[in-house]
């Protein structure tokens, strides 16, 4: 399952921007999260060369948390302040990520079972 929309675009019209999930998945940020299976907090996004892998983020994004979801997914959470996420925020995002992962896993497992029953 892939979700590929950013909440708001940096484009003039302000419409949501498509996210190239394949390009994101090939990048070093995604690969690092998947390999480590641990949250990554980029407290000052402008200092990271991987910023170019997240072109769908609004231009005022200053900090990002990359939260792994399952074996192949990530949640990208951005903030408009350098070092804008506290350790408490990071902990909450970890817990929400775990709950979201469990919910998505049930959905994926149910979809797989339904597809098997059809064939």
Tokens read off for 55? 């072109």
pTM assigned to the model: 0.77
**What proportion of the chain, given as a percentage, has pLDDT over 90?**
55
pLDDT tens for residues 65-108?
A: 999 998 889 999 999 999 999 999 999 999 999 999 999 888 77
Residue 7 has pLDDT above 90, yes or no: no
Region of residue 75 (phi > 0: left; psi between -120 and 50: alpha; otherwise: beta): beta
Domains of the chain listed by start with CATH number: 21-118 (3.30.450.40)
Query: Tokens 């000052």 sit at which residue?
Result: 44
């Amino acid at each position: 399952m892939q979700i590929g929309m950013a909440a708001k675009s940096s484009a003039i019209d302000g419409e949501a921007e498509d996210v190239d999930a394949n390009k994101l998945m090939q990048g070093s940020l995604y690969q690092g999260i998947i390999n480590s299976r641990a949250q990554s907090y980029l407290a000052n996004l402008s200092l990271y060369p991987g910023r170019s892998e997240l072109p769908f983020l609004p231009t005022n994004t200053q900090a990002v948390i990359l939260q792994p979801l399952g074996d192949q997914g990530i949640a990208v959470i951005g903030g408009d302040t350098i070092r804008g996420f506290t350790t408490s925020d990071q902990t909450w995002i970890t817990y929400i990520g775990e709950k979201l992962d469990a919910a998505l896993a049930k959905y994926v497992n149910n979809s797989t079972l339904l597809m098997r029953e059809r064939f």
